[in-house]
């Protein structure tokens, strides 16, 4: 039997705004957002997606669009997609939805992407206390490779993947999300010392009608007002999958998602050409428009069979991810270590987030000795195929995290050696001005007096 051509169930038109797409997009999680398409198990189908900002970021040499980006609009998702079996019976709450990624890539004619650092007052990021200025790098694709005129001297293969694949929550699960995240937002700064160290604001992104897009639900209707006030933002990953940003979910991967509503209501978006572990700049992958070609299967009663709740209700489960066989091969890596002692010298107890922050900062400071600005390195470590690890989590008081960077992506040898630190000829000859804005806020900025630059 000849292979089938995938059925296009959700197209996008990049000449149109996100709210003009047909079928409509959405940027919230809620059980009442209607499905815009239906697929059967075993069917090969194609979904197209705008980039997560809906085309707000331009292919140019200014970072003003990053600084002024309205984060209430993200992420724009394609879906929901109702999944039924070959007899027409929908996926049911308690089932598992197995989603296989058969093919993916950038949309034809739109082979470029961007990586950005958000302004300290507008989104920030993992190192926002060190890098408060909105900054942007544009990347162009040559087949499987990416290069940037704003970060010269590097070229690497992309491991393309969707940042978001998820199912709709039930109303019970949605209420659990909103209650726990509201409590964090209201009390976290006083009760969680880590919030002081990482300097991320806000601590959670609570439901908001501002920027809300709800697919087929007509804005201005009573239903829209109700759903918009309840619907969860798409920014964090949760029990339904969602924004997990797992860079290895490429061709041949499978995602086993819990089903909470009839039909599962699968949605996807936030396509990445490449990403480093952690996506540390927040807008840190190479963000792009793109497509997925998928197949779905329904595992009846799969949640009970395969998922044990790690919480007080049967809904406190998480997806399982099966990594595909396709990924870049590198044989040489330079690995940077971090421990759970912050930049002030303060000891934290087995805190992997602080340790990973230190590992990333160590890598940035090191690579800046080779002719790069620290902002260029920060962007690069967000989007290149670097590998992050929790290397030690039991030897009190220090957690140990590592960040491994493939040496081959540089046009110069970045390893320590006898003699002076070299800089590659391409970097010296063609080091551009990185698009960047000023920081005009007054939130605290961390300065490291011992840094090399």
The overall average pLDDT reported for the chain is 93
Q: What is the pLDDT of residues 193-204, one digit of tens each?
A: 777 777 666 789
- Dihedral, 37, 107, 168, 214 alpha carbons, nearest 10: -80
Tell me what pLDDT residue 424 has: 58
- Taking the C-alpha atoms of residue 174 and residue 101, their distance in angstroms, rounded to an integer, is 27
Tell me what pLDDT residue 202 has: 79
pLDDT level of residue 306 (50, 70, 90 thresholds): very high
Q: What is the pLDDT of residues 119-156, one digit of tens each?
A: 999 999 899 999 999 999 999 999 999 999 999 999 99
Stretch among 102-116, 225-239, 385-399, 408-422 having the lowest mean pLDDT: 408-422
pLDDT level of residue 106 (50, 70, 90 thresholds): very high
pTM of the full structure? 0.95
Question: SS3 of 14, please?
Answer: coil
The tokens describing 107, both together, are: 């949309």
pLDDT level of residue 452 (50, 70, 90 thresholds): low
Tell me what pLDDT residue 379 has: 98
- Taking the C-alpha atoms of residue 123 and residue 75, their distance in angstroms, rounded to an integer, is 13
Q: Going from the N-terminus, what domains does the chain have, and what CATH number goes with each?
A: 7-322 (2.60.120.580), 333-452 (no CATH)
Burial class (CB in 10 A: 0-12, 13-18, 19+), 313: exposed
User: 321 with 249: CB under 8 angstroms?
Assistant: yes
Average pLDDT over residues 409-414: 94
What are the helix (H) ranges across 53-121? 64-67
The answer, yes or no, to whether residue 181 has pLDDT greater than 90, is yes
Tell me what pLDDT residue 225 has: 97
* Strand duo 96-105 + 241-243: pairing: unpaired
Stretch among 144-153, 286-295, 302-311, 420-429 having the lowest mean pLDDT: 420-429
- Taking the C-alpha atoms of residue 389 and residue 403, their distance in angstroms, rounded to an integer, is 7
- Taking the C-alpha atoms of residue 281 and residue 15, their distance in angstroms, rounded to an integer, is 28
pLDDT level of residue 429 (50, 70, 90 thresholds): very low
Question: SS3 of 398, please?
Answer: coil
Reference 259, options 312, 299, 232; nearest CA is: 299
Q: What is the pLDDT of residues 345-399, one digit of tens each?
A: 999 999 999 999 999 999 999 999 999 999 999 999 999 999 999 999 999 999 9
Average pLDDT over residues 285-297: 98
- Taking the C-alpha atoms of residue 117 and residue 281, their distance in angstroms, rounded to an integer, is 5
The tokens describing 39, both together, are: 């697929």
User: 285 with 383: CB under 8 angstroms?
Assistant: yes
Q: At what angle do helices 374-383 and 352-367 cross, to 10 degrees?
A: 120
The answer, yes or no, to whether residue 422 has pLDDT greater than 70, is no
Q: What is the CA radius of gyration of the chain?
A: 22
Q: Percent of the chain at pLDDT above 90?
A: 87
- Taking the C-alpha atoms of residue 424 and residue 37, their distance in angstroms, rounded to an integer, is 51
319-to-295, 307, 435 alpha-carbon distances in Å: 17, 8, 38
């Amino acid at each position: 039997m000849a292979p089938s051509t995938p059925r296009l169930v959700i197209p996008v038109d990049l000449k149109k705004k996100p709210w003009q797409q047909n079928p409509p997009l959405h940027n919230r999680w809620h059980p009442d957002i209607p499905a815009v398409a239906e697929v059967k198990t075993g069917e090969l189908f194609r979904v197209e997606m705008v980039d997560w900002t809906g085309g707000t970021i331009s292919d140019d040499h200014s970072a003003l669009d990053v600084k002024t980006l309205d984060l209430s609009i993200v992420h724009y998702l394609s879906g929901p997609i109702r999944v039924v079996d070959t007899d027409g019976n929908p996926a049911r709450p308690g089932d598992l939805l197995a989603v296989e990624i058969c093919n993916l890539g950038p949309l034809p004619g739109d082979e470029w992407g961007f990586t950005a650092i958000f302004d300290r007052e507008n989104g920030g990021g993992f190192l926002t206390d060190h890098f408060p200025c909105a900054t942007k790098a544009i990347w162009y694709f040559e087949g499987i490779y990416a290069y940037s005129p704003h970060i010269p001297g590097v070229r690497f293969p992309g491991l393309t993947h969707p940042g978001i694949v998820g199912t709709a929550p039930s109303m019970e699960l949605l209420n659990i999300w909103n209650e726990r995240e509201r409590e964090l937002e209201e009390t976290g700064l006083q009760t969680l010392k880590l919030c002081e160290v990482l300097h991320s604001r806000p601590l959670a992104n609570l439901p908001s009608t501002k920027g809300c897009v709800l697919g087929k639900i007509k804005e201005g209707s009573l239903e829209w007002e109700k759903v918009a006030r309840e619907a969860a933002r798409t920014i964090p990953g949760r029990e339904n999958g969602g924004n997990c940003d797992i860079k290895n979910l490429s061709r041949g991967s499978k995602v086993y998602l819990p089903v909470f509503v009839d039909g599962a209501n699968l949605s996807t978006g936030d396509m990445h050409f490449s990403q480093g572990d952690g996506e540390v700049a927040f807008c840190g992958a190479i963000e792009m428009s793109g497509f997925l070609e998928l197949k779905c299967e329904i595992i009846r009663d799969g949640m009970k069979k395969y998922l044990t709740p790690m919480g007080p209700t049967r809904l406190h489960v998480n997806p399982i991810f099966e990594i595909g066989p396709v990924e870049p091969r590198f044989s040489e890596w330079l690995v940077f270590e971090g421990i759970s002692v912050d930049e002030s010298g303060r000891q934290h107890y087995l805190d992997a987030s602080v340790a990973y922050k230190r590992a990333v900062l160590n890598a940035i400071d090191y690579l800046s000795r080779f002719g790069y600005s620290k902002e260029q390195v920060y962007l690069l470590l967000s989007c290149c195929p670097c590998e992050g690890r929790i290397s030690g989590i039991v030897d009190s008081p220090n957690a140990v995290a590592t960040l491994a960077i493939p040496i081959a992506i540089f046009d110069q040898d970045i390893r320590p050696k006898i003699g002076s630190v070299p800089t590659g000829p391409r970097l010296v000859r063609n080091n551009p001005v990185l698009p960047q804005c000023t920081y005009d806020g007054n939130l605290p900025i961390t300065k490291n007096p011992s840094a090399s630059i």
